[in-house]
Amino acid sequence: MLEPLEKPSIVAIYVRVSTEEQALHGYSIDAQLDTLREYCKLYNKEIYDEYVDRGISGKSTEKRYELQRMLKDAQMGLFNEVLVWKINRLARNTYDLLGITQMLSKHSVAFTSFSERFDTGSAMGKFALQMMGAVGELERNTIVDNVKMGLSKRAKTGKHNGKVPLGYKTVEVPGERGRNRDSRVEIVPEEVVIVTKIFERFAAGQGFKSIANQLNHEGYGTKSGNAFSICGVKEILDNPFYVGKIRYNRFEQWSEKRRKGRNPKPIIENGLHPPIISEELWNKVQYLRQKKAVVSLKRFDGEFLLTWLIRCPKCGGPMVANRIQNRQKDGSKITRLYYSCSNFRNKGSKVCSANSIRKQEAEQYVVKRVKEVLAQPQILKAVVSNINERKAKRTKPLQQELDSITARIAQLEEKRQRYFELYEIDQLDRELFSKRLDDINAELDRLHAKKSELTFELQDDNPEPVSYEVVRTLLKKFDELLDSSPFEQRKTLMHLVIKKITIKDTRTVDKIEMNFDENTVQHFLAADPSATHAEGSFALRMRRALAGQKIWFAI
């Protein structure tokens, strides 16, 4: 009996290096690629493609467009093995590593590490993989702890970490042989005026919105040139940097918890920088901040489905719930519900106007418009035609930008090679050669990152035309769920499916921009009250139709 032929090994090579790793440890993308290519050549493995993330940290999968592209290709069955130089090139935390390898295994794609060779298909191999992932995570956490220790030491000696706030600037201090080894903080006089106004006005009894509105009317801006907001004013009033203090470790685990990770005991030490605000004024402001900390929550009658979806016709900002009480002739009060511009409510009349639109009219229009489109096939066919025309037009400029970046990368690679040749024949001194090479490598990292992003975007934007039946079925399902679901599900559905709602100057709805993808379809199925089982019949039909597509259109 003939043995079945062994399936040929088609390999996807994945390499990654962060900027810090290349600088500190000499890790090189080219060295990794050369090693893995030789390995494939030695074992007669066919290389399908090389996926390269340059200058990107491995702490998460975010912004790693080449990794995301590789995973999509794996799901499509374009190769049957992923090859990396070391396991920590794929992920530096155990959760991501196991999630990626599990997904690869689900699609019958083997995972191989050149440096740590073991069979991930066996129980011992899986255990070894978990241990190596844990070691990689421990290594990264140790580096993070060491960096935090160094930053904490700086803070405790009165030195700043990171960017300085409005009112200050950093000036580099030359060290040995002209190298910049440290920096000092100096006052910016024109910005000091703004900071002083904020503290003095709050101490005089003005509120956050009033201060922001007045500063914007006077033509002042934040350090980045934006208009002042309530949050911006609060941040300045709460920052002890202005009274000559250094505050460090205000938030812990920022990348995971954001502002929820507030540290109750941050490091606060006397700083080496000059203060802008006196102790007396600072203490007065902090006392008032504590007094005003407890604010009664506004209660809004009714349920607002479209908050942050409707866009202001004047500034384009999101519109939020607003309640206005009017007194009748008989002395009674009547409450009217609106959507109003969030920039006006947050930053004042200098930035925008209320541009309110009645809540009931806006929400009724959205539902009515969907029903109209479903009831008139000629309108929906025109919508589908517009979708396909937009998809065709979108691809061309992205491809042109990608071609331009690819050509620039080739020029820089050639230029880098010429510098190597000049250096080898002693036509360039070492210091000049090193500087030129660093500049070229920095630009190459930036261009490769952009190239990966564009490639992923082009791949994600499937050029295949969308069928009329697909869009009609999606809109029908959307309409059915709006009629049958409770409020919380309807609001979630609105924010999942509707990208934005624009309104005219006449304060009536102009158009509704909608967005459907595979995740949207899954959400429909989960929320469908008529489904008799986990996925329902809709799943089998629509998953094939939407495979690899994202549908965006306006009605």
Model pLDDT for residues 280-324, shown as the tens digit of each residue: 899 888 887 876 664 433 444 457 888 888 999 999 899 998 888
Dump strand ranges (E) for 228-383: 245-248, 267-270, 310-311, 319-327, 333-341, 357-358
> What pLDDT does residue 420 have?
83
The pLDDT confidence band at residue 257, using thresholds 50, 70 and 90, is: low
283 & 252 share domain: yes
Q: What torsion do the CA atoms of 213, 219, 223, 224 make, to the nearest 10 degrees?
A: 90
Among 240, 264, 291, identify where a domain stops. 291
- Residue 147 pLDDT exceeds 70: no
Strand, coil or helix: 292: coil
352 and 435 in a single domain? The answer is: no
Domain that holds residue 211: 168-175+182-291
Least Cα distance to 360 among 325, 321, 399, 388 occurs for: 321
Residue found under tokens 């509120």: 207
> Measuring CA to CA, how many Å separate 430 from each of 425, 435, 437, 438, 439?
12, 9, 10, 12, 14
When divided into structural domains, the chain yields a total of 4
Give the single-character DSSP code of 176. G
Instruction: Tell me, yes or no, whether 374 lies in a domain.
Output: no
Rg, C-alpha atoms of the chain: 29
Q: What is the pLDDT of residue 299?
A: 40
Q: Classify residue 111: in a domain, yes or no.
A: yes
Residue 150: both structure tokens together: 């160094």
Q: How far apart are CA 4 and CA 177, in angstroms?
A: 69
Contacts of residue 158, Cβ cutoff 8 Å, sequence gap at least 6: 246, 269, 270, 271, 272
CATH number of the domain residue 23 falls in: 3.40.50.1390
Q: What is the distance between the alpha carbons of residues 345 and 319, in angstroms, rounded to a whole number?
A: 9
Residues 281 and 228 in one domain: yes
Determine the pLDDT at residue 478.
Answer: 82
**pLDDT classification of 531: cutoffs 50, 70, 90:** very low
CA distance linking residue 483 with residue 266, whole number of Å: 50
224 belongs to a structural domain:
yes
205/282 same-domain check: yes
pLDDT-derived band at 121, boundaries 50, 70, 90: low
Query: Do 77 and 115 share a domain, yes or no?
Result: yes
pTM above 0.85, yes or no: no
127 — pLDDT class (breaks 50, 70, 90): low
Among 151, 158, 132, 373, residue whose Cα is nearest residue 275: 158
**36 and 112 belong to one structural domain:** yes
Whether residue 212 lies inside any domain: the answer is yes
* Amino acid letter for position 213: N
Task: Please list the active-site residues.
Answer: 18
Contacts of residue 66, defined as CB under 8 A and 6 or more positions apart, other chains included, come to: 14, 16, 51, 52, 53, 452, 455, 456
Same domain, 75 and 116: yes
Last residue of a domain, one of 450, 465, 481: 450
Between these two residues, 200 and 266, which has the higher pLDDT value? 200
Max mean pLDDT among 215-224, 418-427, 441-450 falls in 215-224
Whole-number Å distance between alpha carbons of 500 and 247: 39
Does residue 536 lie within any of the structural domains? Answer: no
Is the pLDDT confidence value at 417 over 80?
Answer: yes
Residues 19 and 102 in one domain: yes
The CATH number given to whatever domain includes residue 190 is: 3.90.1750.20
